């Protein structure tokens, strides 16, 4: 019987050491680190022709960015629902200036070929006319570098 105890003693020592090691001690276990939820891919808004769109004097909400650009956009004269669409992806600096070059991610030609170039020029001029956008200081810090998608639509609203 003493021999049986001696044979169990050395074999159980590594097991006891493992149970008492901090890595396996249940009191030392930690919850897995929770990652923060990811930011959305981008902020999206649709800009449609609206001649009576009010000018935005100060921007401190995301929706106001799209309203400000809508107030600056002047579609080509005589386009009258040509069916054209263009989507631009861009970011802003905290000062309200466009950061880098806007990227066209989608273009739908529409029905009037002679209005295609004036349509894209009108979109470019909207940002030239509007920027720098009048961000508040705290809002500018919050949105600087975030991706915005502006979808310009010259189509009959549904």
Q: For 132-144, how does the pLDDT look when each residue is reduced to its tens digit (9 = 90+)?
A: 999 999 999 999 9
pLDDT digits 0-9 by tens, 55-64: 899 999 999 9
Residue 20 in this model has a pLDDT that exceeds 90: no
Q: For residue 103, what are the β-bridge partners?
A: 89
Structural domains of the chain in order of their starting residue, each with its CATH number = 43-154 (3.30.1150)
For helices 116-130 and 62-72, angle between their N-to-C axes, nearest 10 degrees: 120
Cα(86)–Cα(104) distance, integer angstroms: 7
Q: Which residue has the higher pLDDT, 112 or 87?
A: 87
CA neighbor of 154 nearest in space, from 111, 124, 103: 111
Which of the given ranges, 9-23, 68-82, 95-109, has the highest pLDDT on average?
A: 95-109
The pTM (predicted TM-score) of the whole model is 0.69
- The answer to whether 101 and 157 have CB atoms below 8 angstroms apart is no
Q: Which residue has the higher pLDDT, 88 or 41?
A: 88
Q: Can you give the pLDDT at residue 66? A: 95
Cα(118)–Cα(89) distance, integer angstroms: 20
Q: Can you give the pLDDT at residue 5? A: 46
As a whole number, the mean pLDDT across the chain is 79
């Amino acid at each position: 019987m003493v021999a049986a105890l001696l044979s169990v003693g050395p074999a159980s020592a590594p097991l006891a050491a493992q149970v008492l090691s901090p890595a396996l001690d249940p009191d030392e276990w930690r919850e897995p680190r929770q990652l923060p939820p990811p930011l959305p891919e981008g902020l999206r808004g649709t800009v449609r022709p609206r001649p009576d769109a009010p000018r935005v004097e100060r921007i401190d909400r995301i929706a106001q960015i799209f309203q400000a650009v809508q107030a600056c956009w002047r579609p080509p004269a005589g386009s009258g629902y040509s069916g054209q669409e263009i989507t631009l992806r861009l970011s802003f600096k905290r000062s309200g200036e466009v950061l880098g070059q806007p990227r066209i991610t989608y273009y739908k030609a529409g029905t009037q070929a002679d209005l295609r170039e004036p349509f894209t020029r009108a979109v470019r001029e909207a940002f030239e006319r509007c920027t720098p956008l009048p961000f508040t200081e705290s809002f500018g810090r919050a949105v600087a570098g975030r991706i915005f998608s502006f979808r310009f639509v010259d189509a009959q609203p549904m």
